[in-house]
Structure 1
Amino acid sequence: MTSLLKLHRLKLTALFLAANIGLLLHLAVGDLKATSEWVWLDILGEGGSALLSLVWIGLVLKSRPAGRVTNLLVLGLAGVFFSWWIDSLDEFIRMPDTVHWDHWLESVPMPIGLVLLTLGIYHWHREQLAISAQMEKRERLFREHRQFDKLTPLGDADYLRRQLELGLAEAATNNQPLSLVILDLDDFNGLNRRFGHGEGDHLLLALTQLLLLNLRRQDLLCRLAGDRFVVLLPNTGEAQARQLAEELREAVRHFAHKTRQHGERLKLQATVAVAMALQDDAESLLRRLNLALARAKPPRLAHSA
C-alpha cells in the first residue's frame, strides 16, 4: 500500500493544495457564519459527498499502479471532490454578493470530473476485459497442463480425446480428411525387466524427442499409455498417413539409443497402424485404431501384449 501511495504522491499533493487554496480564497473574501446559521442537513450531504469522493480516490490509488486509467479516475474523482468541497465551504463562509467566482469553482469542476471519470471507467472496463481474457487463457492452459503426461512433455489420453473431438469437428466443417497413427514399441516390458524402469523412462523421453523431430508442425503427438503413442494428423488422408507411419517406424528402428549405465545400444522395433476418420466419433476412431494395431502386431507380441 505504501509503495503504491508513493507512486501517486504528486496527485495527492496537488489535490491537497487545490482544496486548501479554495479554502484560503473563501476565508480571504468571505465571513465566517455563526453556528446558528449552519444547515446541518446540507453540511452532512455536501461534506459527506466530498468525504466519500476522497475515500474513492484512496481506494483507486491503493489498488492501481500509475497510468492513464488511474490518472483519469483520480482526476475525475478529484473534480467531483473539489466541487463538493467548495459547495460545503458555503455552509460555513458567507461570500459577498459581488463575488461570483465561487459559483464557477463549485459548478465547473463537477461536469469535467464526471466526464473524466466516465472515460476512466470506460478504459478500466476495457482493461478488465483484457485481463479477464488473459485469465481465461491461463486457466485453460492450466486445465490442459493437468492433462499432460507426467513423464513426457506430451498430452495424455484424455488430452488426445479432447483434441481429437475438436479435430473431427473441424475436419467435418472444412470437409478435410483426418487420420491417426499409433506406434507401439515391441517388447518394451522386456527392456524394463532387463535394464530397469528408470532406463525405460529415459528411453521413452528420448523416443519422444525422436518422434517429434519426425513429425510436421501441424501434427499432434500424445502418449496414449506406457510405450504406446498416437499421432493426430489433420488434413491427412490414409495413404499419406501410412507413409508417415512407416517413416516413424523406420526412425525407431534406426534409433541409436544406449543405456546410461553400460552404454549398451538398444535395438528397438515398433509396430505401427493407421486409421482414417470416416463417420466416427473420437471413441470409435480410437477403437478402430487399437484394433488395427492388434492386427498389425506379430502373433507372439500380440499374445504377450
Structure 2
Amino acid sequence: MYRYLNYFTVHTFIFAKLLGRHWPWLLLLPLMMLGIVAANVASGSVIPKADWVWLDIMGEGGLALFMVVWMLIVLATREPGFITNWLAFGFLGLCASSFQDMLDEIVTLPSVVLWDKWIESAPIGLLSLVIGLCLWYREQRQLSVFLEKRANTLQNNFSLHQDSFLPQWPCLTKHIQDSSQQEATLVLLRITPENRNQLPLSASDLSKLRFLVAEVLLWNVPSTFQAFHLTGEGYALLSPTPIAQEQINDVVLLLRAMRFRGQGHEQATMLAVTSQTLILENTLSDAALRQKVREVQSDLASLTDDIESRQSITTVHVV
C-alpha cells in the first residue's frame, strides 16, 4: 500500500511540475469558468433545485471535466509552442461549451440572450482543435522519420527500461514465441564500464551511459534486429532470421570503441563488452529460455575482455 501511495505522490508531483510551464493556460481555465458563471447569474435566474435534471447536469458536467483532464494531459506531455496552444485553446473551447450546457440546466436565460448559443456551439473551439490536430499529425510524422527505430520501440509499449528505454524480458519472450521463422538469432551482450584506477560511475552517470549504449545498438544493428535491455548490464538482440556473424562483431567492436566521461572523472570510461550468439532452432518455453539466458549471462560475466581478433569476439551456440 505504501509503495502505491508513494508512486502516486511522486508521479502527481512530476505531473504538476510539467504543468507549471503552461501557467497561462492554467490561469485562463478557472477565469473562463468564473466568467461564464458570472455572466449566467447576471443575465438569468437560477432554476429551483427541485426542477434540476441531475442526469443532464452530470453528463454535461462530466464532459466538461474530461475536456479539462485531456487538456492537462496534453499540456503535461508537450513543450510550450504554437501547436500546443492550438490544442489547448481547442480543448478550452469545448470545455466552455460543455460547461455552458451544464449551466443551462441550472440557470434560465431570457430568449433575447444569444451569447450562450455561441458558447454551446463552440465553433472556435472545434476549429482550433482540428487545426491543432492537423499540426500535431505533421509533427508526429517528422518525429517518426527522425526517431526511426526508436518510434517502433516507444509506441504501444509501457514495459520499457527506465534508463535505456528499450523493451525488457516480457517483450523479448513474446517476440520469440510469436516468431514463425526457424533459426532465429539471439545475441546476448554483457556491457560493463571499466573502472580501472578511478571511482565507479554514479547512478546518474550509469543511467546516461545505458541510454547511449541503447542508441548505439539501435542505430548500428541490422534492420532485422530488435534490441532489448534484460538487466542492468545485460542486453539482447533478436533477429527472426540468421545473420552474418561479421555484422554482430562490428557492433561489439563499436561498443568497445565508446568512451564515456562521468561527472568528476578525469579519464574517460571504456566499456568491457562480451557476447554470445544463440541460434534458436527449437521452440523453447519461457522457463527454458530464461534458464538458458541466465547461463549465458553467467558465462559472459566470468569472461575477461582480452579478445585480440575479430573472429574471437563472440561464440555461437545452437539451442
TM class by shorter chain equals 0.3 to 0.5
Structure with the greater alpha carbon radius of gyration: 1
Give me the TM-score of the superposition, normalised by structure 2: 0.45
Q: As a proportion of its length, which structure holds more helix?
A: 1
* TM-score, scaled relative to structure 1: 0.47
